[in-house]
Amino acid sequence: MGKHVPTLSSIGWIDTIEQKGDYALSYFITSEYSQTVLYQGQIASLQYLVKEHASNPIMLEEEVRYTLERLMRRYFDDSVEVTVVVDDPPVDKPNELTIRFACIVREKDREYSLGRRVFLTNAHIVEIAKLNNGVV
């Protein structure tokens, strides 16, 4: 049984598979690792992972997959598949990084695919794009 996802808006708690997936993924991309003292060390944050592992794309790919999978399992139990690809930076632009990730989440008899491509320069998010049907 899935759980509800909280929002800090007038929407309140959301419970549809599409909204839960989109909100959870958005929170992962935009959260700051140090945004709370109460849950210190437990915040799933793409920005923190980039800061820690930007110089090692293989480790970054593994950590993003592991962290995102753990986050999604909070809301969708064990019905989660996560794929992550960290593209090698261009030779002439070593400070650029592109991370693509796709998630398939299941709840009851429904399945939802979602994905994003995040483009970073100097470890700062420059662009976030949706991927069609979560295709990496």
Residue 67 has pLDDT above 70, yes or no: yes
- Mean of pLDDT values over 100-111: 92
pTM metric for this prediction: 0.85
Structure-block tokens of residue 69: 């999978």
Calculate the alpha carbon distances from 19 to 3, 23, 74, 105, 134 in Å.
12, 6, 15, 11, 15
**pLDDT for position 108:** 87
Task: Report the pLDDT value the prediction gives residue 134, as an integer from 0 to 100.
Answer: 55
Q: Which strand (E) or helix (H) includes residue 70?
A: helix 57-76
Whether the CB-CB separation of 13 and 4 falls below 8 Å is answered with yes
Domains of the chain, earliest start first? 17-134 (3.10.450)
> Can you tell me whether residue 96 is helix, strand or coil?
strand
Determine what percent of the chain is predicted with pLDDT higher than 90: 46
53/110 Cα distance (integer angstroms): 35
pLDDT single digits (tens) 70-90: 999 988 877 899 999 999 888
- The mean predicted confidence, pLDDT, of the chain is 86
User: How does pLDDT run across 111-130, given as a tens digit for each residue?
Assistant: 999 999 999 999 889 999 99
pLDDT at 41: 61
